[in-house]
Structure 1
Amino acid sequence: MSGRPREVKLTHPDRLLWPADGIAKRDLYDYFGAVADVMVPHVKDRPVSLQRFRENVDKGGFFQKEVPKGAPDWVATAEVPKKGGVVHHVLANDRATLQWLAQQGCVTPHVFTARADLLDKPDRLVIDLDPSHEDFAAVRLAARQTGDALRARGLEPFAMVTGSRGVHVVVPLKRTRTTEAVLSWVRAFAAQLAQEQPETLTTEFYKNKRDDRIYLDVARNGHAQTVVPPYAPRPRAGAPVATPLTWDELDDDALRPDAWTLKTVLGRLADLGGDPWKDIATSARALPRG
């Protein structure tokens, strides 16, 4: 790795990524620089799938797993096996790499639930509460019920509004079980929870069979799947940001899934005195058997 300074040349800084909100590529670059101290611990050493936009979020983007051509030699990467070969994923391990992602038009870096040194031993379990309607009070209730059920199994849940429509309930894990075992466990957990709350929760994959129930989506725990990490912007109106919560914020009737944006989340961090998930790793538990 080169000892040269890690400098990112930003091209087309005035190109509007969120045209309706007047948010330019320079703003995304500056945001990643400002949020890096709290964001990097949540993405460090996790293979990244880049959600990139050549023009703006209104015109659509694309996902890229392989590290973009011309990446600086200081951008860390990880080899992830795939059928017939490997994929070289970016590792967003520092501020400069996050800002280089902005230069690539990467609005949302999606990350693995496992770290690169033990790709088959996840240290995060994620349950995505995906609503079929706009009743966010029901989503908040479902998140609290999910958390209660996880605590009853000896695990410690954390909640994050996604910047989209739902809530992620995230559990830090000790790296003792394989991806397959974690996925099998969380599928069984979700099925039991839906069975206990059949009027409001479901594990039904097909939307036309969910009625108004909240979908307990656990698919992101599968092999080579990715999740939206804390503090990642979303390609939606207003540039909302996936934002970790304190658990008691789920009781707040005013809470919205897109409550904080690229322009406002740094103020929230200042008001809180830092990241409410800064110690999440210390709550890691071994996934129970069965």
Structure 2
Amino acid sequence: MAARHFGPYSVDVSNEDKVLFPDTDLTKGDLIDYYEAVAETMLPHLRDRPLALHRFPDGLEGDGFVQQRASDHFPDWLDTTTVERVGSGSDTVVHPVANKQASLVYLADQAAIALHRWLARSDLPDQPDMLIFDLDPSTDDFEPVVEAARRVVQLMRDLGGQPHIMTTGSRGLHVVMPLRRKEGFDEVRDVAQAMAAHLADRYPDSLTTEHRKRNRGDRIYLDVMRNAYGQTAVAPYSVRGKPGAPVATPLAADELDDPGLRPDGFDMDKVRQRLEKGEDPWQGIHRHGVALATIRDSLGYNG
């Protein structure tokens, strides 16, 4: 066991040679090094947000699990937040929160490969500060997802929003529009559904709001169901628990035009290289928050 020091905080890391990704021989030490390296860029996207941890104590060859509650053995300095459990009315959940570089390193040492964040911050858990479209392919062809993302981006811009694009590190793309924290999840989801319906009506041959997979055909499903209390989305710069250790990676808008773009095309090394060359494409994202009322009015949606 070795200690890593971050100002007043120390993390005792162990079993750094343990292979988590057997296809590439990437170890827990590699994961820890990655999260330590990207912390400065990643932490603003996590600050004060309840997290769900996708942990793989035995690596990808074992059974992973999602952990919502902070464990009793987590150090006292690792921030937590208590929120009402979805649909309970009274029960609560104490979620881990990553506000420090040491927190990311500690969670990586717990084999928390992927971090999924709430769409709201802990001080106002009922009021999201982002609206998200989750776009996954219906077939093995990724180009329709890219084209769908272009159309979501254009609609958000037309309505007065500032869209931000991210590969998920899995199969698709997220398009996120930052919001001012003035309205609740129900209102945000209603507007997101109206936006999706608008796009599906405009592009009926390629986009759909149909929940049933068998009725979608090859059309891209405009999934806005993450816009709900207690739902999470993979965090920017999170590694995914998949072969090759792909990373959810924020994109500049013109990167949608890259013919080689893949949803799982960035790994830990590539992301570190990107960050060494330039700024985070999502830097200061929440300075661009738009009032939901602006989107609603521009869309002509009356609820």
- Of 95, 99, 102 in structure 2, the residue corresponding to residue 96 of structure 1 is 102
2:177 maps to 1:171: yes
Q: 1:53 aligns with which of 31, 52, 56?
A: 56
Could you say what secondary structure the match of 2:165 adopts? strand
Q: Secondary structure of the equivalent of 2:83? A: strand
Per-residue deviation at 1:181? Answer: 0.5
Deviation at 1:24, TM superposition (A): 0.6
Q: Which residue of 2 aligns with 1:226?
A: 232
Q: Paired residue for 1:286, among 245, 268, 291?
A: 291
Shift of 1:172: 0.6
- The residue that corresponds to 1:119 in the other structure is 125
- List per-residue Cα deviations over 1:52-97 (Å, max 9, x = no partner): 1120123331111110221101011111102141100011111100
Q: Which moved more, 1:55-64 or 1:86-95?
A: 55-64
Between the aligned partners of 1:163 and 1:132, the Cα distance in structure 2 is 17
1:39 equivalent to 2:45? Answer no
Aligned equivalent of 2:223? 217
Residues in 2 aligned to 1:29 and 1:49: alpha-carbon distance in whole angstroms: 18
2:185 and 2:194 map into 1 onto residues whose CA distance is: 14
Q: Which letter maps to 1:251?
A: D
The worse-fitting range, judged by mean Cα deviation, of 195-204 and 65-74 is: 195-204
Inter-partner Cα distance in structure 1 for 2:113 and 2:276 = 23
Any stretches of 5+ residues in structure 1 without a counterpart? none
For 1:2-13, list aligned pairs within 5 A: 5-13=8-16
Match of 2:251 in 1: 245
> In 2, Cα distance between the equivalents of 1:95 and 1:196?
45
Give the deviation of 1:175 after TM superposition. Answer: 0.5
Residue in structure 1 matching 2:111, options 105, 109, 119: 105
| 1:259 alignment counterpart | 265
Change (3 A) 1:61 1:246: same
Instruction: Tell me the SS of whatever aligns to 1:253.
Output: coil
**Post-superposition offset of 1:12:** 1.6
Aligned Cα root-mean-square deviation (Å): 1.2
Give yes or no for the alignment of 1:277 onto 2:282: yes
1:206 Cα deviation after fit: 2.2
- Contact kept, 8 Å, 2:182 with 2:291, in 1: the verdict is yes
Shift of 1:279: 2.2
Q: TM-score, normalised by structure 1?
A: 0.96
User: Using the alignment, how far apart are the partners of 1:277 and 1:170 within structure 2?
Assistant: 10
CA contact 2:54–2:241 (8 Å) conserved in 1: no
1:71-129 deviation digits (Å, cap 9, x = unpaired): 10101111110214110001111110011111111011100000000111101111011
Paired AA for residue 81 in structure 2 = A
Q: How many residues are aligned here?
A: 286
**Contact 2:250/2:282 (8 A) holds in 1:** yes
Amino acid in the other structure paired with 1:142: A
Is 1:86 the counterpart of 2:89 in the alignment? no
Structure 2 stretches lacking a partner, 5+ long? 1-6
